Structure 1
Amino acid sequence: MGERKGVNKYYPPDYDPRVGGLNKFLGTHALRERARKIDKGIIIIRFEMPYNIWCEGCKNHIGMGVRYNAEKTKVGMYYTTPVYQFKMKCHLCDNHFVIKADPGNLDYVILSGARRQENRWDPTTNGQVVPETKETQKRLFDDSMYKLEHGSEDKNTADSAKPGLVKLFNRNEDVWADSYTANQVLRAQFRKTNYDLKRKASEDSLLLKKSSLDIPLLAEREEDKHIAGLLSMKLKPSRSISETTDNVRKEIISQSSLPSSNFTRTKEAKAIRILNQSKRDLGIKRKCPENAVKEDDGNVKRPSLVGDYSSTSESD
């Protein structure tokens, strides 16, 4: 209930916002009684016992998971990880025990007031697969010969364990195998295959009877369907995008860069008249070139804009 006092919405009539907050105005901490030793670097937290212990004061057993109000203090650093120490009182006597965190080994160490209940065992004795220790991992990284020997030992261990694994697998199959379900699934597949074969045979017989043929029919293929469609619809074989692109590129390259023979003198004169007409519409006077020749009908013959690529006898 004490934690709720710091988050209430009641402000006394003499409250001054310039103080900086309600806690500063009242002279209290936001954690209330949990921060009564904050000046010593101690804060009260709820600590849960990480494993089974024996209390040295009353010699009673305290199980894993029992919770206590513990004083949490920072006592050092492990690289960049802070190391904390927890002090708590036994709930069965007046004895206090101190436990410190051990981040290097991912464990907790009892410093005083209790002893750990040792019920651990070596998992390698009963064939369990356990991760390598840090010393072994470091030696595997540094020592090539040790890495080779370690790999050989692992291979021999796997070979020796293989017969036992095979026996366990066979026993599992004998105990948990469901022959009825497997037979049911297999028979369902056979029935479906038999139905498909009969349906295909009936369709083939109808097709042969309709066509008045007496020949064995092969299974249909996608390639046969495509060729039959091309023959019946008289379509050209479809080309891929790459083939079409190559053909267009070849046509462009094969074309001549010079004007074609269709550009005659008559078309040239017509183009000149259109250009002159556009000049007159804009109010621009076009000077007659020096090499222009005046013909008998009064028209000015201008020099050709392009080379003579066709005979002058062509007409519109």
Structure 2
Amino acid sequence: MPFNIWCGGCNSMIAKGVRFNAEKKQVGNYYSTKIWSFTMKSACCKHEIVIQTDPKNCEYVIISGAQRKTEDFDIEDAETFALPADEERGKLSDPFYRLEHQEEDIKKKKEAEPVLVRLQHLSDARHADDYSLNKALRAQLRSQKKRVAEEEAASRKMGLGIRLLPASEEESAAAGRVKFPPKFDRNMKDKRALIKSSSIFSSSSVSPLPSNKRRMELETKRRKIRAAAASSLLTGGFKPSSWSENSGSKGGRHRGTLVSARKS
């Protein structure tokens, strides 16, 4: 798009420089120059826009489907010069008007000459020593690269994949004003203790650790089993378990050895 336009379908702006797939065809001639027409569809609402070339004024003309966006700006703020209008261009053919216009230009030049000379001297002083300027620029780039490398190393130590910006006083003050709930510290300690007690191997080779609730249930069951075993021992109704069978088998072997020794 050669200029900013307003789409006629949805009234949205299409910026200058946006590319379209357009149908190009010749619709006329201006002397020996062809007049081309471009038909395209806007991406926002599929509205058809038709634009033609204007060889006479070296411009593009919107035929249908859109409206050109008029942009006004102040010449002083934009730091540009105002081009003479068509009427001014016609008057420049008059010798007397051209002489008066030339006198005004010379007067403006004399008024702006001290500023231009001062700017030229300042530019010459800044760019007189190319070696010093190059040296200062290279030193600045080296310090910048060193600072970036230090920030990336600090981020890698914290396990981050992005580079953090330097800390500021405003961020420190804002972080100090944040108040976490009272359970936060306890949960953080529990999670750290669980992480420290977990295995360093992957979860595929080692079964995952039970949760806090599941762990408490297992501890309760173990206590009940131990209490039942202790009560059975006290009452004499001992039911051998795996470890008691092993100990009983060992004791049986010893008793068998003693009986055979007595018989012999």
| TM-score over 0.5 (shorter chain) | no
Tell me which structure has the larger Cα radius of gyration: 1
| Coarse TM-score class (shorter-chain normalised) | 0.3 to 0.5
TM-score w.r.t. the length of structure 1 is 0.36
More helix by share: 2
